[in-house]
Structure 1
Amino acid sequence: MISGLICSVSLVWMTFMRYYQAPLVTTQMPEGVSVSKIIFPAVGICTNNRISKSAIEELARNLLREERNKNYTEKQMLSLLLGLGLLYNQQPMNEKLMQPMKLHRALGDYDVNELMRNLTPRCEDLLMRCAWNEIPMNCSDLFDFRLTMNGYCCTFNYLRQSDITFEDKSGGARSIDMYKYGNKSNFDFGQGLKALIKLNTSDDFYYNMPLQGAQLQFSDAYDFPDAPSGSFAMQIVNPSVEMVVFVTASFTEASRDIQHVPTKLRQCLFYDESSYLPFYTHSDCLLKCRMLFLLAKCKCTPFNMPKMVNNRTCDIRDIPCLKIYNAQSTTVRPNVDMISPELELDMVGGGINCPMCYPSCSKTAYSYDFMNTKIWPDYMNTVPDGDRMDWLQGANFTGTSMVHVKYAREVADCYGQNVIMKWFDLISNIGSTCGFVTGFSFVSVIEFIYFYTVKLYREIGNRRRQEKRIASETSTVNNFEPISRYRPIYWHELGGSTQWKQGSYY
């Protein structure tokens, strides 16, 4: 009996530990979900040339008209304005060539966001032809000029409401219903997004990376395109190539039953249960954590991040500070165990610790495969319009590249996340274990508790009341004979009830 009890307790303890250490289970739905029901990812196209030569020359001429810049020549002013590129990436700079304070004084009174927006190559100069789901469309109807981590770019299906206001705890209009809307596509050869990009090298002034071409970036439709915050992918489009991007989507939906599981065990958050953000996503959480870090260190936030309410956007004067914390600000450490000093992460001060940023419980994830094909612009220009696809008719292919983004499969993988067992499953599991090993069950437990608590209490109470009654009777009535176990039998008790009623006595 003792051995069975020990064995039963051990098995029950193992069941409890397994439940609390891994309370969730993720299962794949065999049928999946059609890609036509999933929002297409946001697509951004940014030229590697971040500053237009014609725009910077016009700015230089306007600045030279100012009295404070009368000692500069046009060449010197253009060389000074080259320092604006440091707002994109804080690379090591030559102090003789890049002089932030001189540039700040030369610019005078300026707004960083407006200044960099006006200097960025425009979408109408970059995008020549566009199509969506086999329908030729005006590129200006498909693409918007929006802010990303690479500055202002041409974005498609980027559904975030504002570039200049970061959604703070006090406001924000995001809701779960927004994921029902947005551009959607099907799986077919000609479906998806198509764009003919013109790479005008004659307008190049500043490259944020030493490569010709353009950057093709992808993110969730409602997440800010930001590489350190996740939900981001990027690929370089070289000149004179056709790039086909195959998108594979996977959808994870978590049951609300897991919400009672502690956050440290389930390792995820729902959109409405974070005090850090009014509408929680993993990407927004990491982004806000990075911005608050830079705000604490440099008293401002970079222009290529969403603007925070009542806080200053970094300008030229803040470049040295941003340069100091650049590596650390791009190294985010979410809710993980402490990093040992031997790891490389310690080289940037351990990165930014963001323990409040758990993955999103329900999310759509995208993966991308890229295929490049060399094109011959001179030959393609000779092809008559009758032999071209509709969206390419009348196009000049000199100095261009093509991009085609489409789904790689008809069905997206679908996963469900739920608790491995509910409370009644846990009780049933424990009860069956005890019953199998010792013949013990929850009914036995209830009976045991009843007999050794309620029943025992009542029995003790009855005996105490009986003892008190007997003691009181013996002390007050002394003329009665002592109560014996057997009393005398009267003869009339042996007679029937009928004889008693008739008055018969024996």
Structure 2
Amino acid sequence: MSRMMFVKGAAQRTLIEYFHKTSLNGFGLLYFIRKRRIQRLFWFAFITFGILFAGLSVLAMILQYLNHPIMTSLSEDIFFEENVEFPALTICSGYKLSRRKVANYADELSNAKGQSKDYWLRQLTLLEGYFESFAISPQVGRNLQNALNSTNLASELQKLSPSCDTLIVHCEVNDLNRNCSEIFTLKNTIQGFCCGLENQNLTGELTITLDSSQEDAFAMPQNVDGFTLHMSNWLGRLSIQPGELANIELQIYELQANPQLRDYNLDERRCYFHDEGINQADCLTQCRLKAYIINCQCIPPFPFSADSVNSTHKYCNLTNIDCMQLVDFNWSPDECVNCLPLCHGLFHRMVKNVYGYMHPWRSRISFYYTNKHIPIYQQNELYNWYQMLSNIGGVLSICIGCSFISGFELLYFLSYRLWLNFRNIQMQ
């Protein structure tokens, strides 16, 4: 008798013993009703369906855990703050350069270089290449840069930008008049030089009146009407059209992360703790900066300061316009795979409600928090090991009546009883 026949006989005997003695009642019926073929066939099909359903359910649970191990849920805790400070707001005009300042600059160029003021005004419209690289051709950019002969034209752009005093004509904090120059200052951003809210612990309601007449706008093809609003930790933006009366609702929520999430790698938790990285908006800006440095060996004038980034890198100028166009065309946030949101902190977003219109030369907007009760969202593990074990056990118990003891019993029959039956058959 061959060894394979011994194994087959031992397996058959072990299977019969298992169905006879198992604690799983459903499997035991396959032994006790073995002479009733129709019932046995029905019960076999029912058990097979239970095994398949349980296997698929457990597999789906495991795959969900592997793909999304982190769960974000709204906590029952709500944080109340009486005086919520305003976030870092930025207000950008639809035009980039001041007509009066550019006219004075054209006078200086005319006196220094000999051409007429009108000639330089026409040439200075090409400065739009600094804000939108595809607005001019590389050759035209090089010609203008050579004609200006300026080694640091980026600093000149700040001098030519409209001041916050001309863009924001009136400010009120909690219905009290305030000097706008004390609240807003000109800042270098990715949209150009814009008016940023100074960190003065402002709370309550902020109302500002904007000059939307564009009376001081230096005409360039990319100019648009109105203003745009931005926040440093928010990737969105809002537009303010001329003449709008609008309320800007500031919404805030807090995100808390379980410290145990540090045990997961970044690919699984998809967020940084504060000591691991910066917020996503700043990271994307830095990622784009690296693309300019690698490809052009210079940094664009917006939104970087050469002193604050690295003194070894110069500003890009219009002679680098072809390289800047290449970066702008090919760069995508998808390339910055390491730019992830923070795991915890305070986050804001803005919602605009237009309630009327005034003269199109003015726009009036009010900032305030809609609710001082800050909702808290918590990030935790989707399952702990004991929750995973409990869920799997629950599925197996419902579908096939299986438990930890049943599993140990199955291992017992597949190992010791199978070996024992194999040895007994050999001895016979």
What TM-score do the two structures reach when normalised by structure 2? 0.72
2:150 is the counterpart of 1:150: no
Q: CA deviation at 1:125?
A: 2.1
Q: Shift of the alpha carbon at 1:59?
A: 1.3
Call closer, same or farther: CA 1:256–1:112 in 2, change over 3 Å: farther
Q: Deviations over 1:193-226 (max 9, x none)?
A: 111223454422134644333x131213xx5xxx
Q: Which amino acid aligns with 2:250?
A: V
CA distance in 1, matches of 2:222, 2:355: 20
Query: What are the ranges of 5 or more consecutive residues in structure 1 without an aligned counterpart?
Result: 160-181, 186-190, 224-229, 274-278, 334-352, 378-398, 453-506
Cα separation, 2, equivalents of 1:290 and 1:63: 33
Alpha carbons of structure 1 residues 422 and 442: separation in structure 2 relative to 1, 3 Å: farther
Structure 1 position 120, deviation (Å): 0.5
The SS at the match of 1:284 is: helix
Relative distance call for 1:103 and 1:269 in structure 2 (3 A) is: same
Contact 1:34 1:410 in 2 (8 A): yes
Identical-pair percentage: 20
Q: Counterpart in 2 of 1:127?
A: 168
Equivalent position to 1:407, from 354, 369, 382 = 369
Deviations 1:249-275 (A, max 9, x none): 2322211122212322222222223xx
Residue among 208, 211, 221 paired with 1:198:
211
Match of 2:121 among 78, 90, 100: 78
Deviation of residue 427 (structure 1)? 4.8
Do residues 244 (structure 1) and 247 (structure 2) align?
A: yes
Partner of 1:206, secondary structure, is coil
CA shift in 2, pair 1:319/1:12, >3 Å: closer
- State the Cα distance separating 1:121 from its structure 2 match: 1.0
Residues 274, 342 of structure 2: 8 Å contact kept: yes
Q: Are the aligned partners of 2:72 and 2:378 in contact in 1 as well (CA < 8 Å)?
A: yes
* Structure 1 residues 372 and 85: alpha-carbon distance in aligned structure 2, compared to 1, 3 A threshold: farther
CA 1:444–1:83 in structure 2 vs 1: closer, same or farther (change >3 Å)?
same
Q: Tell me the equivalent position of 1:266.
A: 269
Match of 2:296 among 295, 298, 303: 298
Structure 1 CA distance, aligned partners of 2:63 and 2:185? 53
Deviation at 1:321, TM superposition (A): 2.5
In the superposition, relative to structure 1, how do residues 105 and 258 fare at CA in structure 2: closer, same or farther (>3 Å)? same
- Label 1:208 to 1:133 Cα distance change in 2 as closer, same or farther (>3 A): farther
Q: Is the 8 A contact 2:240 2:363 kept in 1?
A: no
Partner SS state of residue 243, structure 1: strand
Matched, 1:219 2:262: no
Distance of 2:119 and 2:337 partners within structure 1: 48
Judge conservation of contact 1:61–1:74 (CA < 8 Å) in 2: yes
Aligned to 1:357: 339
Cα offset for 1:15?
A: 5.5
Give, in whole Å, the separation in 2 of the partners of 1:202 and 1:439: 79
Secondary structure in structure 2 of the residue aligned to 1:326 = helix
* Residue-by-residue CA offset, 1:374-396 (whole Å, 9 max, x unaligned): 1259xxxxxxxxxxxxxxxxxxx
**Cα distance, 1:35 vs structure 2:** 5.8
Cα distance between partner residues in 1 of 2:211 and 2:238: 19
Aligned letter for 1:134?
Answer: D
SS in 2 for 1:305: coil
Identify which of 379, 393, 401 aligns with 1:417.
Answer: 379
**Displacement of 1:432:** 7.1
The structure-2 alpha-carbon separation of the partners of 1:99 and 1:423, relative to structure 1 and needing over 3 Å to count, comes to same
Deviation of 1:143 after TM superposition, in Å, equals 0.7
Q: Which residue of structure 2 lines up, in the alignment, with residue 28 of structure 1?
A: 74
2:356 paired residue number = 373
Paired letter, 1:142: I
Once the two structures are TM-superposed, the CA of residue 320 in structure 1 deviates from its matched residue by 2.9
Distance 2:171 2:352 in 1: 21
Distance in 2 (CA, whole Å) between partners of 1:201 and 1:438 is 76
- Aligned partner of 2:168: which letter? L
Q: Distance in 1 between matches of 2:405 and 2:252?
A: 48
Which of 183, 204, 207 in structure 1 is aligned with 2:201? 183
For 1:286, the aligned partner's letter is L
In the alignment, the residues of structure 1 paired with residue 117 and residue 314 of structure 2 have an alpha-carbon distance, to the nearest angstrom, of 31
Q: Structure 1 residues 101 and 376 mapped into 2: Cα distance closer, same or farther (>3 Å)?
A: closer
Residue correspondence of structure 1 range 7-46 to structure 2 within 5 A: 10=55, 16-34=62-80, 36=82, 39-46=85-92
Letter in 2 for 1:81: L
Residue 418 of structure 1: how far off its partner (Å): 0.7
Contact 2:299 2:314 in 1 (8 A): yes
Query: Is the Cα contact below 8 Å between 1:247 and 1:369 reproduced in 2?
Result: no
More helix by share: 2
CA distance in 2, matches of 1:83, 1:405: 36
Q: 1:118 to 1:418 in 2, by over 3 A?
A: same
8 Å contact 1:435–1:441 — kept in the other structure? no
- AA matched with 1:421: Y
- The residue aligned with 1:88 is 131
Does the CA contact (< 8 Å) of 2:171 and 2:208 recur in 1? yes
The secondary structure found in structure 1 opposite 2:218 is strand
Where structure 2 has 5 or more consecutive residues not aligned to the other structure, the ranges are 1-17, 28-47, 417-428
Could you report, residue by residue, the CA deviation over 1:168-217 in whole angstroms, capped at 9, with x for unpaired residues? xxxxxxxxxxxxxx7353xxxxx42111223454422134644333x131
Partner of 2:103: 57
Secondary structure of the structure 1 residue equivalent to 2:92: strand
Q: Which amino acid aligns with 1:319?
A: I
Secondary structure of 2:337's partner?
coil
TM-score w.r.t. length of structure 1: 0.62
Find the partner of 2:259 among 256, 259, 262.
256
Once residues 291 and 337 of structure 2 are traced to their aligned partners in structure 1, the CA distance between those partners, rounded to angstroms, is 13
Instruction: Give, in whole Å, the separation in 1 of the partners of 2:192 and 2:116.
Output: 29
RCO higher in structure (CA 8 A, sep ≥6): 2
Equivalences, count: 359
- Cα pair distance change 1:292/1:36, threshold 3 Å: farther
Give the residue type in structure 2 aligned to 1:313.
Y
State which drifts further: 411-420 or 320-329: 320-329
Larger Rg: 1
